[in-house]
Chain A
Amino acid sequence: AQKVTQTQTSISVMEKTTVTMDCVYETQDSSYFLFWYKQTASGEIVFLIRQDSYKKENATVGHYSLNFQKPKSSIGLIITATQIEDSAVYFCAMESGSFNKLTFGAGTRLAVCP
């Protein structure tokens, strides 16, 4: 069975610093896909970034990047130069085995302080 674990319940950082959010996953499949989604204070959930398991290069989109460590089954989200509006809950998710079916982690709440 697939499982996604986010151990950090909440993180607080100062504005303009870099933060890393951890995520580990379990799967028996050799090919899988990893995602990060963001839930804003209003409740809106939006897609941020994705990593395909067969790609060695870490994905980067804007000031979001991933630290993909396949041997450790780990996919960390790195946010550089954090902004107040990055304050949100971040969910790690995995698509593995079942087509178009995602398993989500419990989420990490990020607070960016001025």
Chain B
Amino acid sequence: EAAVTQSPRNKVTVTGGNVTLSCRQTNSHNYMYWYRQDTGHGLRLIHYSYGAGNLQIGDVPDGYKATRTTQEDFFLLLELASPSQTSLYFCASSDAGGYAETLYFGSGTRLTVL
């Protein structure tokens, strides 16, 4: 069973603040993803990566940076947080054996920007 761990579980910051969300997966999956979940929109892809040092832009990247430092670790950075970034953030990973690989999700980070 894939293990994906996110930290922190909850985060409150102010407008203009600097926030880093962390994600670690322990099953040597190649792909890692950051999604945000908002009512009425489901899960929307922010950034993803297929290996250390790689970064791919998702569907809603504005205001976010990401960095994949190792096979295990993927970070999401909000350098000037805005209230519109208040959301539930999920990290996920998948193997790269082929198409249609199952995503394994972390438990989520709830971010509130005041």
The residues of A with any CB-CB pair to B shorter than 8 Å are 4, 6, 33, 35, 37, 43-47, 50, 52, 91, 93, 95, 99-107
Contact = CB atoms under 8 A, between A and B. Distances in A.
A100 B49 CA distance: 10
A101 B45 contact: yes
A27 to B, nearest CB: 14
Choose among A6, A37, A91, A100 the residue with the greatest number of B CB atoms under 10 Å from its CB. A100
Nearest to A51: B100
Contacts of B88: 43
Interface of B: 31, 35, 40-45, 48, 50, 56, 58-59, 88, 90, 92, 94, 96, 99-105, 107-108
A9 to B, nearest CB: 9
A102 B107 contact: no
Choose among B31, B42, B44, B45 the residue with the greatest number of A CB atoms under 10 Å from its CB. B42
Contacts of B103: 37, 45, 47, 102
A100 B45 contact: no
A105 B42 contact: yes
Given A33-B100, A50-B100, A52-B100, A100 B31 contact: yes
Nearest to A50: B100
Contacts of A33: 99-100
Contacts, number: 53
A102 B99 contact: no
Contacts of A101: 45, 48, 56, 58
Contact of A43 (B43, B45, B107): B107
Contacts of B42: 4, 6, 91, 104-107
Given A100-B94, A100-B96, A106-B40, A47 B45 contact: no
A109 to B, nearest CB: 10
Nearest to B48: A101
A6 B41 CA distance: 10
B107 A47 contact: no
B107 A95 contact: no
Contacts of A102: 45, 103
B101 A103 contact: no
B99 A45 contact: no
